[in-house]
Structure formats: structure tokens, C-alpha cells
Structure 1
Amino acid sequence: MRRGDSPAWRAAEPRLSVLIPFLRDDPTALLALLDRETPELQDAVEVVLLDDGTGDADLTARLEAVVADLALPVRLLSSPDNLGRSRGRNRLTAEARGRHWLFLDSDMRPDSPDFLQTWLALAKIDDPAVAFGGFSLDQAPHEPRTAVHRAMALRSDCTPGIERARQPEKHVFTSNLLVRRDVFEVEAFDADFAGWGWEDVEWGMRVARRWPIVHIDNPATHMGLDTVETLAAKYEQSAANFARVAAKHPEVVATYPSYRAARLIRRTPGHRLARPLFKAIAMLDVLPDPARAFSLRLYRAALYAEAV
């Protein structure tokens, strides 16, 4: 595992560790935004990055140069192999020195200039076991090719803290998640999850049995909206993970609309024949975005029907 540190890394004694994995992305823009808060953080925040097997020597060299110029304490890890979403984040925690860890995706952008200051104050004053800050699309570009994903995210994901708190374990995503060290030492991410999806929600289900999950409004924008084709591929990857979650937490998953839809589709004659039709409808650019989003949700439910 290759390491590169900023000048401030060695002497820092952080309270909060920001943990950022990435694969074939360049997190420079995110680092610049976080670094702007350095004067107000009083050396209490560090950043740990993990290049999870990109294998791009030029990107590594550029990032090492960027890290060397940052005021924040930053460590860049470059893994020769792809560890995956769960194992990669577990690996990041081994480098973290703070009492609290903020898992932050590389395609996120803080929505306020005091983003880290807000998290640091919460960690110091309330010392929460787990807290999720939410995410938005405020800074994400409006593009026709990602309009369906935008419609779906605005409907189900970009919700205020008071709404998320009604099902606290359901709205736990590693895009903007604060975790206390002792909690994670007991409940790490399940490394047996593979591909995309559900490993963070499943972690939230386990944690919610023992600790409260706080929901606040300190959002960051999700910049990485996907096309319908990419979303469909991710849903195809996630079906096995959904099955794993349903088997481990049947009483929780049974309350989810996606589970109920999957059960209904499974009982419908010919549901396997309808599945490619749902996907084909979602791909039709001539249809309104809400109709395409609805059909894509049906496609996801049809995939999950095989798991329930």
C-alpha cells in the first residue's frame, strides 16, 4: 500500500477523520473545498484518501503533488488492488486517528462553507454514535442524460433530517456519514458484500439495534448522477446484495416499499418476461422523466423479486 502525506500530517492530533475512497475519480475538487476550512478547524480534522485500485500512475503522481500543497493533514493511500466498497472503507479506518470518522464519497461537494466545522462541533458537543448529514443535488448540473436519476433521487433520497429520522437505519449512506470509533470497532462493514449497493444500509440496520442514529441537516451535493443505462447496471449488481440484506434482516426489509413491490411482482404471472420490458421503457428518451423513473423502479423491483 503506497502512502503520501501532506506536511501537516505527522504532527496533527485530530478529533475528526474524514475518510474518502475513490476509484478512477479525481478528488482534487473536493479536497480544495475541504482545505478552505483549515484555518477554522484548529488542526482537529484530518483527511485519509484511498485510491481503491485505479492503477493510474499519472493520477497518483498528480494527487501526491496536490496533497503536498494542502494545509489540512492529509494521507493518500494507493492500493494496487480493488478492495471493494466495504473492505476499502474498513481499510481506511485503520489509518484514522480521530475519535469520530466522517465517511465522505469522492463525488460529493459540501453545500456550506462550514461543512467540516459543523461536523466537528457535533462530534465535540454531542459525541453521537452515528449521524447522517443528508445529501442534495443543489450543485449537480442539470443534464438530459441524467434527468431520470435526478428525478428518482429528489423523490427518495434528498430528504430533510426530520423525515430521515422516521426510519433512521434506512437512511444511512456512506456518502456523508459520521461514525464514532468505538461503534465501528464493534460493527464494521460486512466485507462479504460485493459489487454495488446495500452494504451501508445493512450496516445501519445492525448498528440501530445498539445505538441511536442521529439525522441532521449538513448536506453535501451528490455530483455523480448516472444515466439510465448505468443505474440499471448498478441495480443488476445490487440484487444479490439485496438478497443478503433480506436474509439477515427480514423484519426490517419487510417494511420497505422496494420489498413489497418485489413480492407483488414475484406473485405476478410472467413477471420474468416483463422485466426487460420495464428496462426498455425506462430507456426511451421520448417519454417523460417521471414515467421513465417509475419504469426503472419497476425494473429494480423485478430484479429483487428473484431474491424474495
Structure 2
Amino acid sequence: MSPSSAVHDNTAWTNAAPDLSVLIPFYRDDPESLIASLDREAGALNGSVEIVLLDDGARDAALITRLIARIEACDLPIRLISLPSNEGRSIGRNRLADAARGSSLLFLDSDMRPDHDRFLQTWSDLARAGQTAVAFGGFSLLQAPEDARFAVHRSMAARSDCLPREQRALQPEKHVFTSNLLVRRDVFEAEAFDPGFTGWGWEDVEWAMRVSRRFKVEHIDNPATHMGLDTVESLAAKYEQSAPNFARVVARHPDFVSAYPSYRVARRLQTVPGLRAIRPLFKQAARSSLLPVRLRAFSLRLYRVALYAEAI
């Protein structure tokens, strides 16, 4: 832990002996609603689950004050770590793992919401059994906002992220995200997240590729809703950040990536004359509210793949 980080533990933290550590990083997001949702299961868990929160350098004093008040009122053991500056997704999650005491780690994004009232109990039972190396619980859109400005992201997520367990298991490493991911401690000690990834995207899938060469990656049905849907502009900006990360994955794991449609289409697009001039048109189409949502989503996928074609 950084010597300049601030740490706050609630009363339940001191004497807890958890099997499962729930690790929640956040940066300019408010995880208070998620904490409240998780704490509803505290009575049934008997101290078997703790939460470690990481404020990745947002420097939002009002938010931290609210969070401290919230965690003091919680029955679950909770530690809040506040970093003085932003360190990024990979380093932050590695820091969370270092602070955890459980034999298994549950990586959970701050914009997720459990879809049922035995969410933590299901993960805790797997952690206590100790047989599961890695398991992804799945996404849903059950509780996600239905605002028109999020319609494109909702369409894309329903098609590619919110998949049933059987479909995810066909390519287990591809459908791993740190938004709802159980990892046994010895697995994470063997394979941590690569701090060389910066910005948004692919650091979790690259990690799963490495892990799957040594350990079994499982998929179960223990979903949570992804509440943090993005506008087209926000999603496009994330894709722009993710292109160098995609190239990093291609260089390291060509055997996995060569089977992905995004890679195959990107390779084909490399032969298209004037792709760089055409690419902004895909983004423009995705932004147009005059077009059907499915066509806008298709255009945004083309924009992402065109970025990848230039990166590789």
C-alpha cells in the first residue's frame, strides 16, 4: 500500500476473518448504492465477506465524507483506501488484492448492482469450498436505465456482453470482465493484472488469456446489472483509448485473438483505401438519432474495429 494513501476501516473490519474479499475500485463514481445493496446480505454471511474500496485519486472530499458515513453504518466489514493520485485500472486492482484478507477475491465494478438477494452468498459459498480458480458471474441489463441517450450502448451490451453461461463458456477467456469476477488468491498471486495497460479496455481479457493457460476459467449464472451505460460519445472515447491496448493483446496472444470477429474484421479493413478518412463517418452515423438503434450500434462497432485496424 502506498505510504501516502489514506485508510478508513469500519468497526466490523477489525475482527473479521473473511473467506471472500469484494474489491471495488472507483474514480469519480459513487459506489454508495452498491455498498448499500451488498450490505443487505450481511446478516446471512456471518462475517465471511469483507469489502475493500479503492478511491483511485479522485480527490472528491464530499464523496469520501459520504462514503465514510455509509460504511460506518454497514454491518459488513469494510475498508476504504484513498490514493492521492490516479494510478489506473490495472494497478488499482492489484492494490486492492494486496489489501484483501480473503482466500478468494471478487472484483466488482462500482457501477454494478446485484440482480438477486443471494449474490454475495453464492460467491461466498464458492470461496469457502476453495475449488474454483476463476469464475465470471455474468452481466445483465435488468436494472439499467432505459434513457434514449443510452439506447446504442444498451443494444450493443445486450448483443455482446449479456450472454448466457453456456455461450460465454465456449470462449471462456474472451468473456471475462473485472465487473463480476471471482479469483482464488493463489491464482491472482500467480497472475496479476498487467500494469502496462493504460486507459480503458482489454486488461481483463488479456489477464484471462494468461490465466486460462494455467487454470480453469469457469462461467456461472450469478449476474449483476451494469448500471453505467454510456452515450455514443463516451463509448467512442473509450474505444479510442482501447485501440493501443487491443494491439498489445494481439502481440501477446495471437492464438486467442485470431479467433475473434473484431480481429478478423480489423484485418480486412486494413485493405480498405482511405480507411482513416472513412472512419469518422461511422461515428457520425452512430450519433444520428434519425437512424434505427440497431444500425447506429452497427456503425459504432465498425468505428471501433476501424480504430483497431489502424492500431495493429
TM range (shorter): over 0.9
Which position in structure 1 is the counterpart of 2:65? 61
Which position in structure 1 is the counterpart of 2:19? 15
Which position in structure 2 is the counterpart of 1:119? 123
Give 1:68 deviation, angstroms: 1.0
Query: Percent identity between the aligned chains?
Result: 66
For 1:192 and 1:87, the matched residues in 2 are separated by 9
Matched position secondary structure for 1:8: helix
Which position in structure 2 is the counterpart of 1:160? 164
Which position in structure 2 is the counterpart of 1:139? 143
Which of 238, 242, 248 aligns to 2:246? It is: 242
For 1:141 and 1:200, the matched residues in 2 are separated by 25
Are 1:131 and 1:177, in contact at CA under 8 Å, matched by a contact in 2?
yes
Which position in structure 1 is the counterpart of 2:52? 48
Which position in structure 1 is the counterpart of 2:102? 98
Are 2:56 and 2:87, in contact at CA under 8 Å, matched by a contact in 1?
yes
Which of 27, 35, 39 aligns to 2:31? It is: 27
Which position in structure 2 is the counterpart of 1:220? 224
Give 1:232 deviation, angstroms: 0.4
TM-score scaled by structure 2?
Answer: 0.98
Summarize deviations over 1:208-253 as a string: whole Å, max 9, x none: 0000001000000000000000000000000000000000001111
Which position in structure 1 is the counterpart of 2:205? 201
The question of 1:297 aligning with 2:307 is answered no
Give 1:178 deviation, angstroms: 0.1
Give 1:127 deviation, angstroms: 2.1
Which of 160, 183, 188 aligns to 1:184? It is: 188
Give 1:108 deviation, angstroms: 0.2
Which of 233, 239, 247 aligns to 1:229? It is: 233
Residue identity in the other structure for 2:36: A
Query: Mind listing any 5+ residue stretches in structure 2 that lack a counterpart?
Result: none
Summarize deviations over 1:145-179 as a string: whole Å, max 9, x none: 00000000000100011110000000110000000
Which position in structure 2 is the counterpart of 1:89? 93
Give 1:125 deviation, angstroms: 2.9
Residue identity in the other structure for 2:284: A
TM superposition outliers: structure 1 runs of 4+ over 4 Å: none
Give 1:126 deviation, angstroms: 5.4
Are 1:4 and 1:67, in contact at CA under 8 Å, matched by a contact in 2?
no
| Number of positions where the alignment pairs a residue of Structure 1 with one of Structure 2 | 308
Which of 257, 262, 275 aligns to 2:261? It is: 257
Give 1:58 deviation, angstroms: 1.2
Residue identity in the other structure for 2:62: D
Matched position secondary structure for 1:81: coil
TM-score scaled by structure 1?
Answer: 0.99
- More divergent stretch after superposition (114-123 vs 15-24): 114-123
Are 1:103 and 1:175, in contact at CA under 8 Å, matched by a contact in 2?
yes
Residue identity in the other structure for 2:300: L
